Homo-oligomer: A and B are copies of this chain.
Amino acid sequence: MALTGPIVLTDHRYGKAENRVVRFYKENARHEIRDVNVSTTLRGDFEAAYTEGDQGHVLPTDTQKHMAFVFSKKPGLDTIEDYAIALAKHFVDTVEPVASARIDVDSYGWQRISIDGVEHDHSWARVGPEVRTAAVTVTAERTWVIGGIKDLVLLKSTGSEFNGFLTDEYTTLAPTDDRVLASSLVVQWRFAETEGVDWDEVYAGIRATLLELFATTYSKALQQTLYAMGTAVLERFPVLAEIRLSAPNKHHFDYDLARFEIENKGEVFWAADRPYGSIHATLARADAPDAGIAWLP
C-alpha cells in the first residue's frame, strides 16, 4: 500500500517542562514550604509555527516558565490543584491562540525537623519516595482536574496468593498460597467537580484508603488488589468520576536455601529488578461526566 494523499498536521502541542518552583510562605517565623515541578502544555492555533516557521501565535516557553513562577507567588501554591487551575485559565483567557492549557504538577513532600518533639520553624527533611501529582486541563468552556500519587511503594509479607490461573504448554509457574506482594503504585483520579473541593482533605483520604485496602485485602492477584483499592476510593469519595491505577508487580523470589540444608519459611527473598509484571485498571462511576480531553498528555 503506497499512500499518496496530502500530508496533514493532525496534532501538536508545546510547552515548558519541569519548572522547579520552590515557594515559601513567610507570614511569620513559622515558614511553610511548597516544592513542585511544573510543566505547561498549550494546544491551539499554532499550525503556522510548524508549517511556515511563523511564530506570530507562539508565546515563548520562556514566558510560560515565568508564569509558573509568578503564579506560585500569587494566587500562590496553597494547593497544587488551585494553582494549576489558575495558571491554566490564565493561558486560555489571555493568550488568544490557546484553545486548551494543561498543567502538570509534581509535589515533593517535606517534614519539619523535630528537636526533642518540637517542630522547627524553618527547617525540613525530604520525605518520599511518594509524590503527589495534579494534572489540570482548561478550555474556554470546561475545567478538568486529575489528582494523583506516584512512586507509592507498598509491600505485604503475607496475605497474598496466586492460584488457579490459565496454563499452556509454556507455563512453568507453580501456584502459591503465600507470597510477597509488592508494587510501586501510580494512581490518578479524575474529579467530577472542580470547585469547592477540599483538595488536601481528599488527597489525604484517598492516600489512606489506598494504603488501608492494600493492607486489608486478602489478595488473590494484584489485579484484585487494585480493583479493591479503586472501588473503595470511588465509594468513599463521590466527588470522583474515575480512577486509574498502574502497578508493577515487583517480584520477590523465595531464595532456595534448601540446597544448603537451611529451611526458608517465607523469610528470605531476592527482590528482582526486571522483568516485572505490569497491571493496569481503570474504574469509573457510570454516571460520571465525560472525560473529554482530561487524559490527553
Least CB separation from A52: chain B residue:
B224
Is A285 a contact of B5 with CB atoms below 8 Å? yes
Is B39 a contact of A3 with CB atoms below 8 Å? no
A226 contacts the other chain (CB 8 A): yes
CB-contact partner of A155 in B114, B123, B130, under 8 A: B123
A8 to B230: give the CA distance in the assembly, Å: 10
> Chain B nearest CB: distance from A242 CB in Å?
8
Is B211 a contact of A3 with CB atoms below 8 Å? no
Contacts of A39 in B (CB 8 A): 275, 278
Known: A51-B227, A165-B56, A285-B3. A113 touches B215 (CB 8 A): yes
Is A166 a contact of B58 with CB atoms below 8 Å? yes
Contacts of A286 in B (CB 8 A): 5-8
> Chain B nearest CB: distance from A290 CB in Å?
12
Contacts of A205 in B (CB 8 A): none
Number of residues on chain A facing chain B (CB within 8 A): 151
Is A66 a contact of B172 with CB atoms below 8 Å? yes
Contacts of A79 in B (CB 8 A): none
Contacts of A242 in B (CB 8 A): 10
A139 contacts the other chain (CB 8 A): no
Interface string of A210-241 (1 = CB under 8 A from B): 01101110011101101100110011001111
Contacts of A14 in B (CB 8 A): 223, 277-280
A86 contacts the other chain (CB 8 A): no
Is B55 a contact of A162 with CB atoms below 8 Å? yes
Contacts of A12 in B (CB 8 A): 223, 280-282
Is B9 a contact of A283 with CB atoms below 8 Å? yes
Contacts of A252 in B (CB 8 A): 22
A72 contacts the other chain (CB 8 A): yes
Which residues of chain A in 1-26 are interfacial with respect to chain B, using CB atoms and an 8 Å cutoff? 1-26
Is B280 a contact of A73 with CB atoms below 8 Å? no
Is B158 a contact of A31 with CB atoms below 8 Å? yes
CB-contact partner of A271 in B20, B70, B221, under 8 A: B20
Contacts of A20 in B (CB 8 A): 270-275
A201 contacts the other chain (CB 8 A): no
A154 contacts the other chain (CB 8 A): yes
A293 contacts the other chain (CB 8 A): no
Interface string of A171-196 (1 = CB under 8 A from B): 11100000010000000000011000
A284 contacts the other chain (CB 8 A): yes
